[in-house]
């Protein structure tokens, strides 16, 4: 009898760690489920709903004394030349990758080790995640959240929607966000009427739209625009995006 009591009393402490582990597991499971649901709620509606604003537009309204121009227009009102120019310049593998260009990322890492930088490591999908939801910068936290949101955007949106959002939220000049604003406040024409040359110049300033000018292009911008036009022709023109 004493031996049974002794064995019984020694077995009780093991129940507490097991109970703690179960509670920890349930907490982790519910946390993961909450994160997944929250991610879907944040990303999925914009597959169909035009974003009324973006994180970058809000930031510009706060920090800038100049007017900020942004208005959503549908895919049908955007020049095919602007779409293909953006892909040719920023992300030629856009129709085929799942949100990340691993070769470009590897090249950027290698280049940074050598003290220089290359453009193009961020895909159009990543730039949509950044412009729509996040803030400027290269810190690891922002890049990590950007990568996470990019995965959801690629999972929940078709490719054409991703490109449509990109062309509506990209900053083409100081306070000029999207194709409509570029047409209205830079060229004085509808975004559907952009020529390839105009589209190429617009896309050329995307690395630094506050420092580079579409209306007064530098030698770099003009040269970059010529390179983009050549890349568009090499891809076969707007037909390259016909499958989106």
Give the pLDDT of residue 112: 62
Based on the domain organization, do 205 and 180 belong to the same domain? yes
Based on the domain organization, do 140 and 30 belong to the same domain? no
Based on the domain organization, do 9 and 60 belong to the same domain? no
Per the structure, the complete domain to which residue 20 belongs is given by 1-49
Give the C-alpha separation, 73 to 109, whole Å: 36
Based on the domain organization, do 99 and 33 belong to the same domain? no
Based on the domain organization, do 6 and 85 belong to the same domain? no
Q: Which of 115, 133, 143, 114 is nearest to 123 (CA)?
A: 143
Instruction: Look up tokens 């290698």; give the residue.
Output: 110
Which of 113-127, 129-143, 149-163, 207-221 is least confident? Answer: 113-127
CATH code of the domain containing 151: 1.10.3810.10
Report the domain count for the chain. 2
Based on the domain organization, do 80 and 90 belong to the same domain? yes
Show the tokens assigned to 226. 């010529």
3-state SS class at 49: coil
Based on the domain organization, do 1 and 91 belong to the same domain? no
- pLDDT tens per residue across span 71-91: 999 999 999 999 999 999 999
Based on the domain organization, do 81 and 45 belong to the same domain? no
Based on the domain organization, do 113 and 9 belong to the same domain? no
**Structure-model confidence comparison of residues 154 and 28, the more confident one:** 154
Give the C-alpha separation, 180 to 139, whole Å: 31
Based on the domain organization, do 204 and 92 belong to the same domain? yes
Residue 108 scores a pLDDT above 70: no
């Amino acid at each position: 009898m004493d031996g049974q009591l002794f064995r019984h009393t020694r077995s009780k402490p093991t129940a507490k760690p097991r109970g703690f582990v179960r509670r920890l597991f349930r907490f982790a499971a519910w946390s993961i489920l909450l994160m997944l649901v929250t991610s879907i709620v944040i990303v999925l509606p914009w597959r169909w709903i035009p974003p009324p604003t973006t994180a970058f537009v809000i930031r510009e309204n706060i920090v800038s004394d100049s007017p900020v121009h942004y208005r959503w227009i549908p895919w049908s009102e955007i020049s095919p030349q602007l779409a293909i120019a953006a892909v040719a310049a920023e992300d030629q593998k856009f129709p085929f990758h799942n949100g990340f260009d691993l070769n470009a990322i590897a090249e950027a890492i290698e280049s940074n080790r050598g003290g220089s930088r290359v453009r193009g490591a961020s895909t159009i999908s990543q730039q949509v995640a950044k412009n729509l939801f996040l803030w400027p910068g290269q810190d690891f936290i922002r890049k990590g959240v950007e990568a996470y949101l990019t995965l959801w955007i690629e999972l929940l949106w078709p490719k054409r929607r991703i490109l449509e959002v990109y062309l509506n939220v990209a900053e083409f000049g100081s306070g000029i966000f999207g194709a409509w604003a570029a047409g209205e406040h830079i060229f004085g024409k509808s975004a559907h009427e952009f020529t390839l040359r105009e589209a190429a110049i617009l896309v050329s300033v995307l690395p630094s739209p506050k420092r580079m000018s579409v209306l007064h292009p530098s030698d770099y911008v003009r040269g970059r625009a010529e390179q983009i036009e050549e890349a568009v022709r090499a891809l076969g023109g707007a037909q390259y995006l016909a499958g989106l």
